[in-house]
Structures are given as C-alpha cells and as structure tokens.
Structure 1
Amino acid sequence: MLIEFSVSNFQSIAEQQTLSMLPAKGSSYLLETGNPYYPNVLRIGGLFGANGSGKTSFLNAIQTFQNIVVNSAKYTAGDKIPVTPFKLDESLRGSPTSFEIIFKGLVSSDVWRYGITLDGERVHKEWLYQRTADTGRERKTFVRNGQTISATKSLGLSKALLERVTGKNQLLLSKLEQFSGEDEIPAMVWIKLFLRPVLSSSNWFQSVTGRKLLTEQHSSQITELLKSIGMNFESIRLKERSVVENSPEETAIMTGDKHIYSHSSGGMAYYLELEFERRDRSGSSQPIYFHEESLGTRALFGIAGILVDVIRMGMTIVVDELNQSFHPEFLRLIVELFRSPEANFDSAQLIFSAHDTSVMSILERDELWITEKQPDGATHLYSLAELGTAKAGGPRRRGVFGKHYLENKYGGLPEIDLIRAVKAMKSLESSDAQEA
C-alpha cells in the first residue's frame, strides 16, 4: 500500500510536493496496514487542476521513479539517468532531483521508506528504512552518500562489495536485487511489481485485456465488467494471429488497423483480431470490429484488463486522465469498485487525475488533491483536508466539491481571459484580410 510519495525539482515541480494517503479524522473508506505507526491509509486519491498545472508532472514523477529503480542496475558507464529538473530557476537547473516513497510491504505489516537524490549523471544520496510492525520504530537498512555506503548486516552482502559493484549512476537497491539470487528484496518487490503507473493510452493496454479474454479464468470477469458499464454486446470473438516480425505481412496487419498488437516471441509477432457480436434490427448476430468502436469503448476495453489485475493482486494503480474518452459514470464506477470491500478484497489503491468535476462530489476531502501553477511556474499540490475542517472555514468531510471547485473556492482553476482571446481572433482576421 502506498502511504506517501514526495518529489522535488522534477519537471514543473520545484520545491518538495507530497501526496499523502494518510486519512483525515472521520474518513470513511480506509485500508488497514497492521502497522501501529500508520494504522490506516486511503483507498482513493484524485488529482484535479487546470491544464498545465502539474498533475501529469507529479504522476510522471511516480513513473520515472519506478523506471529508475527497476532499470538502473542495467545502466552502463555514461548512461544518463532520465530526470528533468525544474527549468524556471537557474539554481535548480543544475541541482539534483529527489524522490521519496513510504509504503507497506507485502508479506508483513512492516513499512518501508525509500528515497533517492540524483541528477542525470549520478546518484548523490540513497536511503532505505524499515518501520517494524511489532514496535513501530524505524530502523536503518542502508544509507548511501555518493559511493560510500552505511548498511546493516541484514543486507547479506559486504559493504565493500556493494561499493565496488554499484556504479555512480546505479541504485544500490537495484544492485541488491541483481546480486540477491533467489532471495527477494521486499522493498524492491513492491516498487517493481505492485506500483502500477498507467500514464498513456496505448494499444498495449488493449492487448492486456485481449490476452485475458483468451484465458477461461479471466474471460468471464472481463465480459461481465464490460457489460456492467453499459457496453452492449452479445459476446466477444477473439482470434490470435502470428506473423514473422518485420515482414510484409506484419506491415500489412499494422497498417490495416484491424488488429491489436499483443507481444513478440522468438522472432514472431502476435496480434489479436477482436470483434463484438451485436444484434441487428432483425435479431441476427452482426460482428463489429474493434477498430469500428468509439474511442470511449476502446478506452474502457483497455482499462478493464488492468483493473482486474490491480484489484486481484492488491496493487496501487496510478492513472493520468482516467476519464479520458469515456462517460463520467464509468469513473464513478471505478471509484466505487476500489471503495467496496467486497470488490476490492486485497487492498488495492487508485490514484488518478481527471478533469471531470462531477466525480469530486463523491470523494471525501482527504481524497481530493488540487494542483495549482504558481506565478513562477512551479506546481503546488495540496489536499482539501489541508484547508481545515468546516468549523475552521474549510470544506466538510463530504460536499458539493465539484460545484465549489468551479466557483474557485479551492483554487486550481485555469485563468481564462475571454477578451484577450477575442482580440487575438480579431487580429487574425485582420491579418488574413491584409494577406488577401
């Protein structure tokens, strides 16, 4: 379970910004951690704000952090670390980026705090602490300053060896996994497998759902989920086709737009041909190719398979623009699925960004986060719970947050200048007349 994620000096983020899944007093939809220091966390976190306010930058930070942790052991000397500092401050352009994550592990109720400070060339600092469930006290696992490592014996590898094999652009946590053999590194397992960023629409997501439909175990789950959100079809027909990679036949398939790319193996590429069987006016069955469906239908299909994975495994999913291309009622359904103890039986969490303000009114104040662009271009992230309780002039635990947000009671709205836009269009008209 994710407890907190913090980032500084990354893309539109200058000073440290933190998303916390710790609940405010009176929160309704909680997960139990079993750790006395952090007994409960929220199931849902929703980010709202104007275009360009930094929602995507913050979620990108989570994805970039995971990418570096997972892949840094493969970096060779000279490989760049993929971080982009805040560019609107001269002092920050040459300064390192920092990430820190706090989360509950998988097997026990221990809580881990892991952080890194790095730039494009090297890792400046790295630290890992463990807060045990029995005492709630935090213990150091390792701390790294440059190439100097201070570690406990529980790592199983000598400090001298770790200093020798860990490159300046590699993370110690990644190298530990590389040298651990069959022994799992609990912190690495969660970051690598149970943190699930989904930040761009892609045929890959559609292929995840498609491949699940090929298995009897998941086919009925996917079908029922799609029908529960109003997708009207009798059945789904799916064929898998294999062709030689980079062949003329594969080129024809890719340009034909009737197949979904699935995967490659042994020089062969695999594609899925998908049809929805629908009834025509006479009652006969009529196949509709997947590419003939609306963008909304394709988006719903793509996310369905991932949702089944996330909820079944108890992952933390991070989605940018969750409501893109489909009806807001589906976003409400997703939120309710994660809230329901019956549906969300293994402590999965949902963190998302959206522009649809209607869903704000079914969230509680500590589940709602606003991104606001400051005058200097930096992103400020804050929760409605930080505005105080209703007695102190802040929002109630529940309320018409979408309406109040649009009334600019919480900030985060874009600054719109209609007169300026009209003048710009009129000057364009004058320019066109002169050219004519």
Structure 2
Amino acid sequence: MLLSFRVTNHRSLRDEQQLLLTPEGRQGEEPPAPESVEPLRVAGIFGANASGKSNIVDALRFMVLQVRGYPRRGREEEPAEGIERSPFRLDHDSPGRPSTYVVDLLDDGERHTYGFVIDDTAVVAEWLFRYTADGREEVVFERDGDELSNEPEGGLFPVSDVIEIESNVLLMEVFAKLQPKSFDSTEMRSLRAVSRWFTTGLVIRQRTFGLPRRRVEVPGHCDRITEKRLSKLLVAADTGIEDIQTESFSREMRDGREQEFVRWVFRHRASGHEHVLGLEDQSEGTQALMDLGLRAFSVLDRGRTMVVDELDASLHTHLSARLIELFRDPRTNPRGAQLIFTSHDAALLGRIRGGEVLARDQIWFSEKSPEGATELYPLSGYEVADEGARARKYLAGRYGAVPFVDDDLFSAALAAREDPIPDDSSAPYRRKAPGRSKGT
C-alpha cells in the first residue's frame, strides 16, 4: 500500500509536492509509532481545471513506466539513449533541472522507501531503504550515477558484482529481472516486494470516458462470477440493464499468437419485452461504470491500490460516492485496498444520503501559483468548525483550488459574432489554404 508519493519537476509540479496517505492525528491523541502507521484507504484531490490534479496521476504513472522499462523499449527491444521526461517549462532553469520521484510503501507490515532522480540523459541517483520493526532505516542499495555508492556487505545477491549499470536504466528494473529465486536474503525480499507493487500492486486509470463505443470486442477473459457482480452493479445503478453475459472466442493475431477476446451482451427490458444490445449501444456513463467496476473488483479482491483520474467523469455523484464507500468500509474492503482519485465534484466534499463521503484527512486540494506551478495541500491544514459545510466553503473559495472566472471576458468570448459569417463558409471549421494565414 502507498503511504506517500513525492515528486519534483514533473509538468506543472515544479517544486516538491507530497501526497500523504496516513491518518491525521486527532487532538489530544499521541501520534502513532512509525511502524504502526496504516495507510488511508481513500484520498481525493480536488481543484480547478488545469490546476495540476492530473499531473499528479501522470507523475505516478511515469514512475511506474520507468521502473517497468517501457519508455526505453523500441521495436527491437533495445534501450534508447537518454530519458524522455516532462519537466516544468515555465522557468528558465527548470527544463534542465533533474526530476525526483519517491514512494513510501507498506507491504505485509514491512515499510520501504524507493526513489530516483533523473535528468534528460541519465539516472542521477536511485535508492531503496527498508525499515525495521522499531523504525530504524536500513539501506538496501544506494546508487550515485553509474556506481553503487552504498551497498550491503557481500552484495545484494551473488551476481551483483557483474551487473553492468546502464546510465539510463533503473537498477530496480535490472534487479527484478536478475533476481534468482533460490537466493532469499533480506535485501532480495525487499526488492521483490517493491518490484511487485510496481508491476501488479498498482492500477492507474487516467482520464477516459468509458470504453470506446466502437470497441465491441475487448481482449481478456471474464468468468461468470465477475459477470454476476457486474450485473448487480449495473442493476443497482439504475442503468436499465437486467443482466449481462460475455461470449469468449479466440482470434489469431498478426504475429501468429492466439488472443482471447470477450464480447459483451446486455439484456434490457422495456414495455414488457426483452431486448439484447451490445456494448456499442450503451451510454458513456454505463461504459465508464463498467470500466471502473471491473477494475475495482480486482483491486478490492487483491488489496491493491487504484488511482483514478477524474472519478466523476460520466458518473452521477451518488455513484461516485458509493464507489468511495466501498473502499472506506472494512466490510467491503477487508484487504485494505486503496482508492486515490481526482475530481471536480464538490458534492463529494460533503454529505450524501446522510453520510460523510470523505474524512478531512482524505481530502487534498491542488492550485496553481501565479508562476504556473502546482501546489498540493490537505484540508487538514484548515480549521473547519462545521464539517458539514465543506462543499459550500470550498465553492466560496475558502480553501482555494477554485477557478477565478472573469465573467465579462468569459461572456465576451462566447458571445455571438458581430460580423456575419461569409456565405461560402458552409462548415463551422474550414481549413485555410497554405499561405493564407496571417502572422506566424
């Protein structure tokens, strides 16, 4: 599980920003010991358009892809030179400054900190620490450029002295590939735990509006138990669907492999008659709910972490609140799965159907400074006397993270044109002939 994520110099995240996923200390209570901290099951990030919420998700996804080695692989699976990254570009010096990514993780009661620093050409630094039961920090490895600057005595495993460190490749990726199953040192267990979280423990859903309408067939397999769970979800959401089923079949791909596909079948009832429809006939909201539902089933069943950008896209507020409740409630989330999401929906800050959607330490805000840099900060930094008035106070600008709209300029931008549109312009958007445009 994720305890915290820190990032510096990624898109609008110029200065170090931290998303902290540990419970807020209550007044009069002693803070918990480091070894007994448990991560929050839910965290929501709220803010205006272009405030940088999605960049937080993108930064975490970038870190995952770097650990997995995806950005460097070409068609021939040969590493490319340098590192493609997205630094802050609104300062003169920021594009050349290194970028930093750090996660604090908790896996089966063991805590680790893993991070790296990169620039456009190479890995500047990389490290992995673990923490003992009494909270002491121990080094698994530390890297300085192309050298292991601090390695446990005897090496991480017997072949560590023959590893050739490539300047733009993370050691975490290399160790994950080379680790021998028979070697079971404390260091190797730490490497496996952190590598496993990056490969199977994290699910990221970036901004999307459900499954594409024309994508009737999707790769994969869906068992009958999952079908029934999904049917119950869609029926409970009042989508008009009575039942769903899948039809599985195989198809030969271009490389000669057999790929299994699933075709969804939806049963609706109207005017006393049953109607069978396909995925392409379902609304964007239904498709979004299906997509989120299938991911949530897997995450809740396995105790993983799910990160969703714009949770409220194509979803009604009540459905978003219900999904959050599934993660907050220990009865429906016995394995401690996590949901981290971004949203514009201020209603999620308050009460829905009599219940609090989010606790105060589960709420974060993002706002851009005048220099265009994103600032991430928690609601727990504010004194809130009336917790039930959070949504109203947020919309009133008490916590920041809301857009400042110039009403006159906004109205002028959307006002009807004063000059008539030429008669020969039959299409709303017409491509200009080369050389006809003014300016540069």
**TM-score band w.r.t. shorter chain:** 0.7 to 0.9
Q: Which amino acid aligns with 2:115?
A: G
**Residue in structure 2 matching 1:98, options 100, 107, 117:** 100
Contact 2:303 2:337 (C-alpha < 8 Å) held by counterparts: yes
Classify the secondary structure of the residue corresponding to 1:400: helix
How far apart in 2 are the matches of 1:324 and 1:73?
28
TM-superposed CA distance for 1:343, in Å, is 0.4
TM-superposed CA distance for 1:239, in Å, is 1.9
Contact 1:364 1:397 (C-alpha < 8 Å) held by counterparts: no
**Aligned pair 1:280/2:279, yes or no?**
no
TM-superposed CA distance for 1:292, in Å, is 1.2
**Aligned pair 1:239/2:240, yes or no?**
no
How far apart in 2 are the matches of 1:318 and 1:356?
17
Distance 1:241 1:203, change over 3 A: farther
Alignment of 1:142-221 (within 5 A): 142-149=141-148, 150-152=150-152, 153=154, 155-157=156-158, 159-162=160-163, 165-182=164-181, 185-201=192-208, 203=211, 211=220, 214-221=222-229
Classify the secondary structure of the residue corresponding to 2:401: coil
Alignment of 1:234-383 (within 5 A): 234-245=242-253, 266-281=256-271, 283-361=272-350, 362-383=357-378
TM-superposed CA distance for 1:425, in Å, is 4.4
Residue of structure 1 equivalent to 2:13: 13
Distance 1:435 1:284, change over 3 A: closer
- Name the % identity: 27
Classify the secondary structure of the residue corresponding to 1:375: coil
Contact 1:208 1:302 (C-alpha < 8 Å) held by counterparts: no
Q: Tell me whether 173-182 or 145-154 shows the greater mean CA deviation.
A: 145-154
* Structure ranking higher in helix proportion: 1
Q: Which amino acid aligns with 1:321?
A: E
Give the gaps of 5 or more residues in structure 1: 28-33, 247-264, 388-393
Give the gaps of 5 or more residues in structure 2: 184-188, 351-356, 425-440
Contact 1:209 1:302 (C-alpha < 8 Å) held by counterparts: no
Residue of structure 2 equivalent to 1:255: none
Distance 1:296 1:138, change over 3 A: same
Distance 1:68 1:278, change over 3 A: same
Residue of structure 2 equivalent to 1:39: 37
Residue of structure 2 equivalent to 1:128: 128
Classify the secondary structure of the residue corresponding to 1:15: coil
TM-superposed CA distance for 1:411, in Å, is 0.1
How far apart in 2 are the matches of 1:291 and 1:207?
6
**Aligned pair 1:429/2:417, yes or no?**
yes
TM-superposed CA distance for 1:204, in Å, is 8.8
Residue of structure 2 equivalent to 1:261: none
Distance 1:72 1:147, change over 3 A: farther
Offset from partner CA, 1:74-98 (integer Å, 9 cap, x none): 7545334231100011111111110
Classify the secondary structure of the residue corresponding to 2:10: coil
- TM-score (ref. length: structure 2): 0.83
How far apart in 2 are the matches of 1:173 and 1:345?
30
Contact 1:37 1:136 (C-alpha < 8 Å) held by counterparts: yes
Distance 1:154 1:216, change over 3 A: farther
TM-superposed CA distance for 1:35, in Å, is 7.6
Q: Which amino acid aligns with 1:131?
A: Y
- TM-score (ref. length: structure 1): 0.84
How far apart in 2 are the matches of 1:207 and 1:36?
49
Contact 2:3 2:21 (C-alpha < 8 Å) held by counterparts: yes
Contact 1:209 1:305 (C-alpha < 8 Å) held by counterparts: no
TM-superposed CA distance for 1:323, in Å, is 1.1
How far apart in 2 are the matches of 1:355 and 1:73?
30
